[in-house]
């Protein structure tokens, strides 16, 4: 499901139930040894999905330990993201040479609990969501906004290692194309030779879930100069 809103360079794996064969590396096991069953299951299956995605890129399974803010720390040369909610777990991985950062999020396709939408949205976003509710009433746009902002944060943090509040990005949805844009209201990192001012993402509603994704391409490598027929001129070392 989630692969339909990701570029081909990103490998994805997902699960709609927790596979009994999913296991953890010893160092991961220590992190959830005292966790409740729900937390243990979502952590284990999320890591299982991540390793499935890594194998699809030709990488051997490896531990994926959390960083300072709980973010997955990927093996060298990879970027990725993990999400989980009731009845769904997914992970995506891509070569860092091809994708600079990726963020995904999945949520139940239900209305947000009372007060949460107001807490995570800007006034302009609330106006846009109100219009979307009138024009496209079959989507829980409040939940979609929350999911999009979660994907924004997951794409932002690996680039900056800085916190990003819900009101630090303003999200606009395009219901006809299944896309969204997130305009940053804080100074972003330099990427591809210029300051990052926002993200573009994709979304879908399927199987009772809202799913959002962001994948930022890595800077293009300079083209290799064509071989010259002229002889090389050797110089003395300085």
Q: List pLDDT tens digits, range 170-191.
A: 999 999 999 999 999 999 998 8
Neighbours of 51 (CB within 10 A): 22
Q: Which residue has the tokens 């989980």?
A: 84
Q: In terms of residue numbers, what domain contains 14?
A: 2-217
Q: Per residue in 190-217, is it b (16+ CB within 10 Å) or e — as a string?
A: ebeeeebebbebbbbeeeebbbbbbbbe
The predicted pLDDT at position 53 comes to 98
The predicted pLDDT at position 236 comes to 30
Q: Please, which pLDDT band fits residue 222 given cuts at 50, 70 and 90?
A: low
The predicted pLDDT at position 223 comes to 52
The predicted pLDDT at position 8 comes to 96
Report the alpha-carbon distance of residue 86 to residue 133 in Å, rounded: 24
Q: Is residue 233 part of a domain?
A: no
Report the alpha-carbon distance of residue 103 to residue 67 in Å, rounded: 16
Residue 54 has pLDDT above 50, yes or no: yes
Is residue 41 classed exposed, middle or buried when 0-12, 13-18 and 19+ CB atoms within 10 A define those classes?
middle
Q: Is residue 237 part of a domain?
A: no
Residue 232 has pLDDT above 90, yes or no: no
Q: Of 216, 86, 210, 215, whose CA–CA distance to 145 is shortest?
A: 210
Q: Is residue 194 part of a domain?
A: yes
CA distances, 194 to each of 49, 58, 166 (Å) = 34, 32, 24
- Percent pLDDT > 70 in the chain is 92
Q: Is residue 234 part of a domain?
A: no
Q: Please, which pLDDT band fits residue 225 given cuts at 50, 70 and 90?
A: low
The predicted pLDDT at position 227 comes to 45
The predicted pLDDT at position 233 comes to 31
The predicted pLDDT at position 231 comes to 36
Q: Is residue 15 part of a domain?
A: yes
pLDDT digit string (tens) for 10-48?
999 999 999 999 999 999 999 999 999 999 999 999 999
> How large is the average pLDDT for residues 133-155?
97
Q: Is residue 226 part of a domain?
A: no
- Percent pLDDT > 90 in the chain is 87
CATH code, 187: 3.90.470.20
Structural domains counted in the chain? 1
Residue 156 has pLDDT above 70, yes or no: yes
Report the alpha-carbon distance of residue 85 to residue 21 in Å, rounded: 20
Q: Is residue 231 part of a domain?
A: no
Q: Is residue 179 part of a domain?
A: yes
Segments of 138-220 assigned E as strands:
169-174, 179-184, 190-191, 194-195, 198-206, 209-217
Q: State if pTM tops 0.85.
A: yes
> How large is the average pLDDT for residues 73-86?
97
């Amino acid at each position: 499901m989630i692969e339909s809103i990701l570029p081909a360079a990103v490998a994805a794996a997902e699960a709609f139930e927790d596979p009994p064969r999913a296991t953890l590396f010893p160092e991961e096991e220590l992190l959830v040894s005292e966790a409740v069953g729900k937390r243990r299951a979502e952590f284990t299956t999320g890591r299982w999905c991540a390793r499935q995605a890594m194998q699809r890129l030709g990488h051997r399974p490896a531990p994926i330990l959390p960083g300072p803010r709980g973010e997955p720390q990927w093996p060298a040369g990879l970027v990725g993201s993990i999400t989980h909610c009731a009845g769904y777990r997914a992970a995506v991985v891509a070569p860092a040479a091809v994708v600079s950062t990726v963020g995904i999020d999945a949520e139940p396709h239900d209305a947000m609990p009372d007060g949460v939408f107001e807490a995570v949205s800007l006034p302009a976003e609330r106006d846009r969501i109100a219009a979307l509710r009138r024009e496209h009433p079959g989507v829980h746009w409040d939940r979609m906004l929350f999911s999009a902002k979660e994907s924004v944060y997951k794409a932002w943090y690996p680039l900056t290692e800085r916190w990003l509040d819900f009101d630090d990005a303003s999200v606009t949805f395009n219901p006809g194309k299944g896309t969204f844009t997130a305009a940053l209201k804080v100074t972003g990192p330099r990427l591809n030779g210029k300051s990052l001012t926002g993200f573009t993402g994709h979304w879908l509603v399927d199987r009772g879930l809202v799913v959002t994704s962001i994948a930022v391409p890595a800077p293009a490598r300079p083209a290799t100069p064509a071989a010259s027929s002229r002889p090389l001129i050797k110089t003395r070392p300085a």
